[in-house]
Amino acid sequence: MSNSTIPNSLSRRTFMTGSVSAAAAMPLATTSTQAAPPEPAKAAAPRDLSTISMRINKQAYKFALDNRTSLLDALRDHAGLTGTKKGCDHGQCGACTVLVDGKRVLSCLSFAVMNQGREITTVEGLAPAGGDLHPMQQAFVDHDAFQCGYCTPGQIMSAIGCVNEGHAGSDDEIREYMSGNLCRCAAYPNIVAAIIQARDEIRRA
């Protein structure tokens, strides 16, 4: 654009200054109106609870539990029976073994709702308060079949199940049918010896 096309009252410098000022002011006008803040997310509705009745160590219990609650968490967190241990929580170590209607169950892999009306036995229910130890408990003491003791409740419950199932006929059979219970202290020979000692006493009982 040449100076001849600009009115006498408007120089090139004045025209450019005015254009730049107007352009700079435009974003200010658009940013002065801000979008309304998003509404806060609504809290998730609580899940429905199921009423579950079961017998644990010959006592009746009734719980209101989320359907996703494992039998292990029901025992530890709701019944206060912490003898059953949470090891891997994936059914690979056997520390959470309990007896359900007399059979071995990995309680971390069983939902509490699956055990409605069933008889659960944990390590706390093996011997009466102030009474003699269960033969399997006593055998574990006699043969020093534990070291740190963390896996011991699951080992004892599994050992009782092993005998009750008729899978304690020989050392090799015991090793095979106890292979789902891991002992990180490697007290396996002592565990086998304890099961052999307790086997006949349990069968006579």
205 and 135 in a common domain: yes
132 and 114 in a common domain: no
What CA–CA distance (Å, rounded) separates 72 from 70? Answer: 5
Asked which of 125, 157, 174 is the last residue of a domain, the reply is 125
Q: What is the mean pLDDT of residues 53-79?
A: 97
Question: Structural domain tally of the chain?
Answer: 2
The answer to whether residue 113 is domain-embedded is yes
User: CATH number of the domain that 102 lies in?
Assistant: 3.10.20.30
192 and 134 in a common domain: yes
H helices of the chain, where? 12-31, 71-73, 135-142, 152-164, 171-177, 188-204
Tens of pLDDT, residue by residue over 173-203, are 999 999 999 999 999 999 999 999 999 898 8
This prediction's pTM: 0.77
User: CATH number of the domain that 156 lies in?
Assistant: 1.10.150.120
120 and 146 in a common domain: no
85 and 64 in a common domain: yes
Q: Which domain holds residue 108?
A: 48-125
